[in-house]
C-alpha cells in the first residue's frame, strides 16, 4: 500500500476520536449551488454557522476553514477579459505569459469549473463575464478529489439572473491583431431558467528562440555542439458556446441540462538556423492543428427541509478530437548539400464519463456532515505517424489506446471543539489503467485524509491549521513507451512503469482584518513521494528525447504574505487601494533515478494590484488598475526553467448603466522573456525565449436587463 494509505489510517483514527464532540461550529465547508432552490424557511434551515467576510482587492472575500472565495464582479476586466486575466490578480495565483497557471509557484494545480473538469482548452479563453466567483484552496479537504499537488482553483460561473431577460455582449481587439468577442443571455421565467453564451477569439503570437547545446563525455569534455536560432509566427482561432436549461421541479428541487461545445484551429510557421558539429543546416516548418470538444451535463439539485440539507447528482459525458500535421524541410549546407523533408501527423480522441454525487446536512445547528462519491472513466486513443527522408529520423506508424478509471468515496464532518472549529475528512480512491495490444495495466488504492482546524483569536484575528493528502496523476498518454517526434530535433517517450506522485501537505496561516485592511501570513510544507519530472537524453543528430520518470522524494517549504487595504479611509487617498502577495519557498529534489546529490534552490512568486476607483467601494464610476505578475525560475531534477515579470494596466469607463469601454495595455515593460538551463553528465543546454507581448487593447461592453 502507498505511503498515502498509512497517512490515511492516522487521519481516519483522528476523525473517529473527535466525531463525538459537539458544541458550536463557526463556519460551514460548503454552500448550495447558486441557482439551487431554497426552502421557504431557508434562513431558519441553515446551521448556526458564521463566515468571516473581509474586503480585499475583490469587493468581497469569504474566508472559510478550507478555502477562500473571491467575488470578481468589480474588476475592470470582468466584462471584457478572459478568466486568466482575473486569476492573475488573486492572491497565491500567478499566470505565466503563455497562460500557464501556478498556485504558490507550483504549476501542478487542478482547475475546475463549477466543481467539474472543464473542456480542454476552454480555460484560457473562457470569457470573464461568465464568472461569478473564484474559490482558491491551497490545501483542500477530502471533499475534493486529490489531483493537483499545489491545490485547487474552482471557478464558479453565473447561473441565474434577475427576472426576465438579461445579459450582455463585448468585443475587443489589440494592436497585434488579436481579439474577439462574446455574448451571454439569461431568461428567467419563473420555474424555467435558460442561460447561454458564446465567444470567439483570434490570437497571434511571435516567438524567437536561441539555444546552445553541448554533448559531453561524462567527465566534462565536450564531444559535440549545436547552436540554434529560430523564429515562429502562430495564429489560433477559438470558439465556444454553452446552453443551459434549468427547471424548478418544486420549492426544493431543480433539474438542469447543459450542453457545451468548443473548437480551435491553429497554424504555425517557423524557420530556424543551426550550426554545430553535426553540420550546418536550416529548417522551414509549417504545422496545422485542430481540436473539437463537446459535453452534455445533467444535474439534479435538492435543498431539503432539514437543517442545512442539500443533495446534488451530476452526470457528464465529454468527447473530443484533435489533430496536428507538421511539415518540415531541412536544408544541409554542410556536410551537404542535402534537402530532407519530414511529415509528422497525430490524431487523438478522448472520451470521458463523469458521475458525481454530494450530500450535506447540519445537525442541531452546530455541526455539518458532507459525504459523496465520484466516478470517472477516461479513454484515450492516439494515432501517430512519421514519414521522413532525413537519415537521422526513423519513420513509424503507431496506435496507442488506454483507459483509466477512478472511483472515489469521501466524507467530512465539521464540528466545534472548545474554541476550535474542526473539519476532519477521508477520501478513498481506487484507480485502474488498462492498455490495448497486451500492454500491462495497473491498479492502485489510496486513502487521502484531511484535517482542518480554525480558531478566532480575538481582535479580528484568525488562525488556521491544515493537512491533506494530494496526488499528481499523469495523463494516460504518458504511459506509452514508444518514441515519437514533436519535430525533427525533439522527441518524447512515455514510461509504462511511472507511478503517481503523492504528497503530504501541511499548512498554517494567521489572518487579521480591521476596517477594510488586513494581512495573511502562511507557512506551508509539502513532502512529495515518487516525484515525477522529465529527463533528457541525446539520441544523436541533434535530437533530444524527453521522458517522464520517478525521481525519489522531494520537499518544498515556504512562507507567503498577503497585504491589502486602502491607502487611507478618508479624502482623496480613499479612492486608491492595494493588494500585494509575496511567496518565498525552498525546494529540494532528488537526482534523476534517485541517485546523486540532488538539487536545491530558493524561489519566489507573487503579484500586486494598485487600483483607483472614482467611487470608493462602489460598483460604478471609472476604475484604473495596474497589475504585476512575477515568478523566479523553477528548478527541475536536471536544471531550471521559466521566470518572468509582467506589468499590465486596464481602465474602465462606464458611459451609462448599459455601455462601457475598457482600455488595457498588456506587458507594459515588454519584459516577458524567459529561458531554461539543462545540465547532466552527458548533456548541457542553455535556451532563451522571447515573445513580444506588449499590445494596446480596446473593448466595448454592453449590458442589458436587470
pLDDT at 657: 87
Q: β-pairing, 490-493 with 543-550?
A: parallel
* Residue 47 scores a pLDDT above 70: no
Query: Three-state DSSP class for 644?
Result: strand
Query: Three-state DSSP class for 174?
Result: strand
pLDDT at 51: 47
Q: Which segment of 263-277, 436-450, 612-626 scores lowest on mean pLDDT?
A: 612-626
Cα gap 664→627, rounded to integer Å: 11
Local confidence band at 1 (pLDDT 50, 70, 90 cut-offs): very low
Torsion angle in degrees (nearest 10) through CA of 481, 122, 667, 138: -80
Q: Which three cell numbers stand for residue 192?
A: 424555467
- The Cβ-side half-sphere exposure at 117, using a 13 Å CA radius, reads 27
Q: How far apart are the first and last CA of the chain?
A: 56
Cα gap 42→631, rounded to integer Å: 45
pLDDT at 516: 78
- By CB atoms closer than 10 A (0-12, 13-18, 19+), residue 487 is middle
Q: Which three cell numbers stand for residue 26?
A: 463557526
371 vs 474, residue with greater confidence: 371
Exposure string of 404-436, with b = 16+ CB inside 10 Å and e = fewer, is bbbbbebbbbbbbeeebbbbbbbbbbebebbbe
pLDDT at 308: 83
* Residue 22 scores a pLDDT above 60: no
pLDDT at 366: 75
Q: Hunting for cell 525560475 — which residue is that? A: 633
- Over residues 621-652, the pLDDT tens digits come to 888 999 999 999 999 888 999 899 999 999 99
- By CB atoms closer than 10 A (0-12, 13-18, 19+), residue 437 is exposed
Cα gap 634→626, rounded to integer Å: 25
Cα gap 396→387, rounded to integer Å: 7
Local confidence band at 30 (pLDDT 50, 70, 90 cut-offs): very low
- Over residues 190-214, the pLDDT tens digits come to 899 999 989 999 988 899 999 999 9
pLDDT at 591: 65
Per-residue pLDDT, averaged over 61-79, amounts to 82
DSSP string, 187-236: EEETTEEEEEEEEEEEEEEEEEEEEEEEEE-SSS-EEEEEEEEEEEEEEE
pLDDT at 646: 92
Cβ atoms of 501 and 530 closer than 8 Å = yes
Per-residue pLDDT, averaged over 50-72, amounts to 67
DSSP string, 246-280: EEE-SSSEEEEEEEEEEEEEEEEEEEEEEEETTEE
| Residue 145 DSSP code | -
Cα gap 66→71, rounded to integer Å: 17
C-alpha dihedral sign at 54, 60, 65, 67: negative
Per-residue pLDDT, averaged over 455-476, amounts to 90
- Over residues 324-366, the pLDDT tens digits come to 999 999 888 877 778 889 999 999 999 999 999 999 999 877 7
pLDDT at 24: 33
What are the start-end ranges of the E strands in 389-500?
396-417, 420-435, 442-458, 461-472, 484-487, 490-493
Cα gap 582→606, rounded to integer Å: 5
| Residue 57 DSSP code | S
Q: Hunting for cell 445537525 — which residue is that? A: 363
Q: Specify the CATH superfamily of domain 3-704.
A: TonB-dependent receptor, beta-barrel domain (2.40.170.20)
Q: Which three cell numbers stand for residue 620?
A: 460604478
What CA–CA distances, in Å, run from 122 to 348, 377, 639? Answer: 18, 21, 31
pLDDT at 122: 74
29 vs 463, residue with greater confidence: 463
* Residue 677 scores a pLDDT above 80: yes
Query: Three-state DSSP class for 141?
Result: coil
- By CB atoms closer than 10 A (0-12, 13-18, 19+), residue 209 is middle
Q: Which segment of 28-37, 70-79, 418-427, 448-457 scores lowest on mean pLDDT?
A: 28-37
Nearest alpha carbon to residue 85 among 118, 116, 125:
125
pLDDT at 706: 65
Average pLDDT of the residues of the chain: 85
pLDDT at 458: 78
What is the phi/psi pair of residue 657, to 5°?
-75, -10
Cα gap 530→636, rounded to integer Å: 14
Cis peptide before 651 (omega within 30 of 0): no
Per-residue pLDDT, averaged over 125-153, amounts to 89
Local confidence band at 62 (pLDDT 50, 70, 90 cut-offs): confident
pLDDT at 139: 95
pLDDT at 227: 95
- pTM for this predicted structure: 0.86
| Residue 10 DSSP code | H
Local confidence band at 264 (pLDDT 50, 70, 90 cut-offs): very high
- Over residues 529-575, the pLDDT tens digits come to 998 888 999 888 788 999 999 888 999 999 999 999 888 767 777 78
Nearest alpha carbon to residue 610 among 623, 594, 596, 593:
623
Amino acid at each position: 500500500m502507498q505511503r498515502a494509505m498509512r497517512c490515511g489510517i492516522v487521519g481516519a483514527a483522528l476523525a473517529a476520536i473527535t466525531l463525538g464532540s459537539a458544541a458550536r461550529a463557526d463556519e460551514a465547508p460548503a454552500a448550495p449551488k447558486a441557482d439551487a432552490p431554497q426552502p421557504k424557511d431557508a434562513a431558519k434551515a441553515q446551521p448556526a454557522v458564521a463566515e468571516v467576510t473581509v474586503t480585499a482587492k475583490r469587493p468581497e472575500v469569504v474566508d472559510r476553514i478550507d478555502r477562500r472565495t473571491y467575488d470578481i464582479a468589480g474588476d475592470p476586466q470582468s466584462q471584457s477579459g478572459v478568466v486568466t486575466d482575473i486569476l492573475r490578480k488573486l492572491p497565491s495565483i500567478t499566470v505565466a505569459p503563455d497562460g500557464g497557471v501556478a498556485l504558490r509557484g507550483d504549476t501542478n494545480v487542478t482547475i475546475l469549473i463549477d466543481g467539474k473538469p472543464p473542456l480542454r482548452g476552454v480555460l484560457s479563453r473562457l470569457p470573464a463575464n461568465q464568472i461569478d466567483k473564484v474559490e482558491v484552496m491551497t490545501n483542500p479537504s477530502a471533499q475534493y478529489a486529490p489531483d493537483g499537488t499545489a491545490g485547487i482553483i474552482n471557478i464558479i460561473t453565473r447561473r441565474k439572473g434577475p427576472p426576465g431577460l438579461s445579459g450582455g455582449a463585448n468585443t475587443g481587439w489589440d494592436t497585434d491583431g488579436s481579439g474577439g468577442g462574446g455574448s451571454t443571455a439569461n431568461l428567467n421565467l419563473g420555474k424555467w431558467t435558460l442561460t447561454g453564451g458564446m465567444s470567439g477569439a483570434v490570437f497571434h503570437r511571435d516567438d524567437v528562440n536561441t539555444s546552445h547545446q553541448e554533448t559531453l563525455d561524462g567527465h566534462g569534455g565536450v564531444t559535440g555542439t549545436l547552436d540554434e536560432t529560430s523564429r515562429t509566427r502562430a495564429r489560433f482561432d477559438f470558439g465556444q458556446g454553452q446552453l443551459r436549461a434549468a427547471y424548478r421541479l418544486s420549492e426544493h428541487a431543480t433539474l438542469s441540462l447543459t450542453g457545451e461545445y468548443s473548437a480551435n484551429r491553429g497554424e504555425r510557421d517557423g524557420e530556424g538556423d543551426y550550426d554545430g558539429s553535426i553540420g550546418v543546416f536550416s529548417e522551414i516548418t509549417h504545422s496545422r492543428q485542430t481540436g473539437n470538444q463537446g459535453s452534455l451535463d445533467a444535474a439534479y439539485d435538492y435543498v431539503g427541509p432539514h437543517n442545512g440539507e442539500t443533495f446534488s447528482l451530476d452526470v457528464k459525458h465529454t468527447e473530443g478530437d484533435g489533430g496536428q500535421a507538421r511539415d518540415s524541410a531541412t536544408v544541409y549546407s554542410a556536410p551537404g548539400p542535402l534537402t530532407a523533408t519530414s511529415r509528422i501527423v497525430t490524431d487523438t480522441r478522448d472520451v470521458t464519463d463523469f458521475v458525481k454525487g454530494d450530500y450535506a446536512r447540519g445537525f442541531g445547528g452546530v455541526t455539518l456532515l458532507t459525504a459523496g462519491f465520484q466516478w470517472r472513466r477516461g479513454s484515450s486513443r492516439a494515432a501517430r505517424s512519421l514519414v521522413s527522408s532525413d537519415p537521422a529520423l526513423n519513420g513509424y506508424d503507431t496506435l496507442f489506446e488506454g483507459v483509466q478509471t477512478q472511483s472515489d468515496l469521501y466524507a467530512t464532518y465539521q464540528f466545534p471543539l472548545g474554541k476550535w472549529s474542526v473539519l476532519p475528512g477521508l477520501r478513498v480512491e481506487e484507480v485502474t489503467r488498462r492498455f490495448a495490444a497486451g500492454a500491462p495495466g495497473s491498479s492502485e488504492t489510496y486513502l487521502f485524509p484531511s484535517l482542518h482546524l480554525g480558531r478566532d483569536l480575538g481582535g479580528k484575528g484568525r488562525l488556521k491549521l491544515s493537512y491533506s493528502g494530494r496526488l499528481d496523476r499523469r495523463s494516460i498518454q504518458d504511459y506509452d513507451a514508444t518514441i515519437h517526434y514533436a519535430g525533427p530535433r525533439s522527441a518524447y517517450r512515455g514510461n509504462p512503469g511511472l507511478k503517481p506522485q503523492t504528497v503530504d501537505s501541511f499548512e498554517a496561516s494567521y489572518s487579521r482584518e480591521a476596517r477594510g485592511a488586513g494581512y495573511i501570513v502562511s507557512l506551508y510544507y509539502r513532502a512529495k513521494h515518487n516525484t515525477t519530472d522529465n529527463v533528457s537524453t541525446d539520441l544523436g543528430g541533434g535530437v533530444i528525447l524527453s521522458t517522464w520518470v520517478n525521481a525519489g522524494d522531494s520537499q518544498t517549504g515556504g512562507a507567503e504574505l498577503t497585504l491589502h487595504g486602502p491607502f487611507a479611509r478618508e479624502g482623496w487617498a480613499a479612492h486608491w487601494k492595494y493588494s500585494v502577495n509575496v511567496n518565498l519557498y525552498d525546494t529540494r529534489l532528488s537526482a534523476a533515478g534517485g541517485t546523486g546529490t540532488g538539487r536545491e534552490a530558493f524561489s519566489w512568486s507573487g503579484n500586486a494590484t494598485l487600483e483607483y476607483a472614482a467611487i470608493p467601494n462602489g460598483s460604478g464610476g471609472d476604475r484604473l488598475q495596474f497589475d504585476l505578475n512575477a515568478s523566479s525560475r523553477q528548478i527541475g531534477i536536471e536544471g531550471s526553467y521559466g521566470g518572468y515579470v509582467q506589468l499590465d494596466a486596464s481602465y474602465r469607463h462606464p458611459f451609462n448603466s448599459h455601455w462601457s469601454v475598457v482600455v488595457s495595455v498588456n506587458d507594459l515593460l515588454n519584459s516577458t522573456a524567459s529561458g531554461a538551463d539543462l545540465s547532466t553528465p552527458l548533456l548541457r543546454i542553455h535556451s532563451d525565449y522571447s515573445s513580444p507581448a506588449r499590445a494596446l487593447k480596446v473593448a466595448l461592453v454592453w449590458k442589458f436587463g436587470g
